[in-house]
Amino acid sequence: MAMKATHAGAVAGAVVVCLCAVVAVQVQAAVAGGDGVEGTVRTLVEAAIKGDPRLGPALLRLVFHDCWVNGCDGSVLLDTTPFNGSSGTEKAAGRNIGLAGFEVIDTIKAKLGDTVSCADIVVLAGRDAAAVMSRGKINYTVVTGRRDGVVSSAAAAAATLPDSVFKIGQLKDNFAAKNFTAEELVVLSGAHAVGVSHLSSFQDRLSSSRSVSTPITAAYKAALGKDVEAQKAVQNTTDPTEPFNIRDMDAGFRNASGFDAAGVDTAAVGVLDNSFYLANTQNMVLLRSDWELLNATDTRRKVSVLGGNATRWEMEFAAAMAKLSNLPAEGTRFEVRKSCRSINNLN
Ligand code: HEM
């Protein structure tokens, strides 16, 4: 009996040990899996931005432009699909001018293989770009498991994405349609602390025509107009780009504009911080849609609050990006694409 009991105890002990080992292995596998995907994305995003800092803003913008149109479904990445309503894919939409970072997504996809969706890669890469550009200040959790859509239409992008000449009411309506508040509109617009815009997107801000002009500091407008002409030659195009953030212009430009750098770290070129709001209150932002945030009491107040509180903006920006990254995919047919640029079966 005693022998039996001892034996039974030993067997039970062995089962417990055995179960523990199985659980331990499973936990390890789950952790390794998470680290594997997220770690790979982080490594490749860091390397990409190190190689070309312009890719940071590009990856951040991709999240907005993917998730706003049909939800987060990788639709912005498609070069071709039969389901485009004959208007071309989203990339062909005018409001997607300057969209970039697609090669980074391709590189990540090639490394991760067929089980990770392109839609997941877009939100993970954008999240990591925000972390890198903010020097680790902006962090948020992203749930994965998205699947890729098969529809991508330029007409839908044109109808859904906000335009740079939108007025404050149009901007609020555009965000409300996606269940985002006016406060979140202001918070997310802070992304325009980094990156560039084409002249064609802010041409109206340089205009002297009273019908299209919006308040912009005269000295800044003059400096911008002068730099645009110089950049046409440098970039060899009639539609050159300019940095969004006056912080990122050289000291000569900032001084000529009369920029008050109090509260702005002018050495932090390319850093994703709340400096957008400080430039905005001085009427020194590129887009009309940026300036429009000053044109309603609630949004103007929010601009002022965020300009005075860097930590608050970082936290609210992270929360709003997490919400953006969670916009559910619309549509009925999904897959995990093999290539982010085309659907698996074109027929
Ligand atoms: C509120 C409405 C918005 C409008 C009207 C708008 C419009 C624009 C325009 C016109 C450009 C420049 C395109 C070009 O000419 O090359 C741009 C760039 C950019 N936008 Fe927005 N945007 C908005 C909201 C957002 C949001 C919510 C995000 C956040 C994810 C964002 C992130 C960016 C970034 C990072 C760039 C720079 C991209 C680069 O340098 O490659 N924008 N946006």
Q: How many Å lie between the centroid of ligand 1 and the Cα of residue 249?
A: 18
- Do 196 and 244 fall within a single domain? yes
Q: Please tell me the predicted confidence (pLDDT) of residue 35.
A: 65
* Minimum CA distance residue for ligand 1 atom 6: 164
Instruction: Give the C-alpha separation, 338 to 240, whole Å.
Output: 35
- CB of 285 closer than 8 Å to CB of 276: yes
Query: Residue 31 domain-assigned?
Result: no
User: How much is the average pLDDT of 123-127?
Assistant: 98
CB 155 within 8 A of CB 85: yes
Q: Judge if 109 and 201 occupy the same domain.
A: no
Same domain, 91 and 178: no
Better-scored residue on pLDDT, 75 or 9: 75
Least Cα distance to 90 among 108, 74, 103 occurs for: 74
Residue 341 CA to ligand 1 center (angstroms) comes to: 22
Kindly give the distance from the C-alpha atom of residue 67 to the centroid of ligand 1, in angstroms, as a whole number: 13
User: 138-167, pLDDT tens digit by residue?
Assistant: 999 999 999 999 999 999 999 999 999 999
In a domain, 346, yes or no: no
Task: For ligand 1, say whether the CB of 188 is within 6 Å of any of its atoms.
Answer: yes
What residue numbers bound the domain in which 259 lies?
168-323
Closest CA to ligand 1's atom 33 = 61
Nearest CA to ligand 1 atom 14: 197
Helix (H) / strand (E) element for 314: namely helix 310-325
Note the pLDDT of residue 177. Answer: 98
Residue 21 covered by a domain: no
How far apart are alpha carbons 186 and 280 in whole angstroms? 11
| Residue 315 and residue 331 in one domain | no
Q: Judge whether 260 is annotated as a binding position.
A: no
Residue 331 maps to which CATH number?
Answer: 1.10.520.10
Q: CATH number for the domain including 268? A: 1.10.420.10
Residues 90 and 154 both lie in one domain:
yes
Residue 192 lies in a domain: yes
- Could you tell me if residue 17 is inside a domain? no
pLDDT per position as a tens digit, 294-312 = 999 999 999 999 999 999 9
Does 194 lie in the same domain as 67? no
Question: Quick count: other Cβ atoms within 10 Å of Cβ 138?
Answer: 21
For the Cβ of 219 lying below 6 angstroms from any atom of ligand 1, the answer is: no
Task: Give the model confidence (pLDDT) of 46-67 as tens digits.
Answer: 999 999 999 999 999 999 999 9
**DSSP H helical segments within 195-287, as ranges?**
199-202, 218-234, 251-257, 275-280
Between the alpha carbon of residue 104 and those of residues 45, 59, 61, 107, 108, the distances in Å are: 7, 8, 13, 5, 6
Does residue 195's CB lie within 6 angstroms of at least one atom of ligand 1?
Answer: yes
Span 109-133, mean pLDDT?
A: 98
Q: Is 7 annotated as a binding residue?
A: no
pLDDT at 267: 95
Q: Is residue 10 part of a domain?
A: no
| 207 labelled binding-site residue | no
**CA 40 / ligand 1 centre spacing (Å):** 26
pLDDT at site 213 = 87
Catalytic: 198?
no
Residues 294/300/302/305 CA torsion (nearest 10 deg): 100
In short, whether 70's Cβ falls inside 6 Å of ligand 1 is no
Which residue owns the Cα nearest ligand 1 atom 40? 195
Q: Which residue has the tokens 């699947």?
A: 147
- Ligand 1, residue 162: give the atom nearest the CA: 5
C-alpha of residue 2 to centroid of ligand 1, in Å: 76
One domain for residues 226 and 307: yes
Nearest atom within ligand 1 for CA of residue 244:
37
Instruction: State residue 170's pLDDT score.
Output: 98
Which DSSP state fits 294? G
In 10 A of CB 51, how many CB atoms?
A: 10
Q: Is the separation of the CB atoms in 127 and 56 below 8 Å?
A: no
Q: Cα–Cα distance between 318 and 133 in angstroms, integer?
A: 13
* 347 occurs within a structural domain: no
Q: Is 192 annotated as a binding residue?
A: yes
pLDDT value at residue 4: 38
Q: How confident is the model over 327-331, as a mean pLDDT?
A: 96
Q: Exposed e or buried b for every residue in 95-130, given b needs 16+ CB within 10 A?
A: bbeebbbbebbbbbbeebeeebbbbbbbbbbbbbbb
Angle between helices 118-133 and 2-51 (to 10 degrees): 70
Instruction: Look at the chain and report how many structural domains it folds into.
Output: 2
C-beta of 59 in contact with ligand 1 (< 6 A):
no
Query: For the chain, what percentages of helix, strand and coil (3-state, to nearest 5) are there?
Result: 60, 5, 35
**Residue pLDDT, tens place only, 80-92:** 999 998 889 999 9
Q: Are residues 190 and 315 in the same domain?
A: yes
Active-site residue, from 65, 91, 205, 288: 65
List, in sequence order, every beta strand (DSSP E) within 15-163. 148-149
The model's pLDDT over 167-198, given as tens digits with 9 standing for 90+, comes to: 999 999 999 999 999 999 999 999 999 999 99
Give, using CA atoms, the residue closest to atom 2 of ligand 1: 162
The pLDDT value recorded for residue 211 is 83
The span from the CA of 294 to the CA of 214, in Å, is 11
d(CA 138, CA 131): 5
Mean pLDDT score across all residues of the chain:
91
The answer to whether the CB of 304 falls within 8 A of the CB of 162 is no
Q: What is the pLDDT of residue 277?
A: 98
Spatial contact of 167 and 292, defined as CB atoms under 8 Å apart: yes
13 vs 67, higher pLDDT: 67
Instruction: Tell me, using a 6 A CB cutoff, whether residue 198 lines ligand 1.
Output: yes
The reply to whether ligand 1 has any atom less than 6 angstroms from the CB of 171 is yes
Regarding the beta carbon of 164 and ligand 1, being less than 6 Å apart is answered yes
Q: Is 100 in the pocket of ligand 1 (CB under 6 A)?
A: yes
Q: Does 8 have pLDDT greater than 60?
A: no
Rg (CA), the chain: 24
Mean pLDDT of 261-290: 97
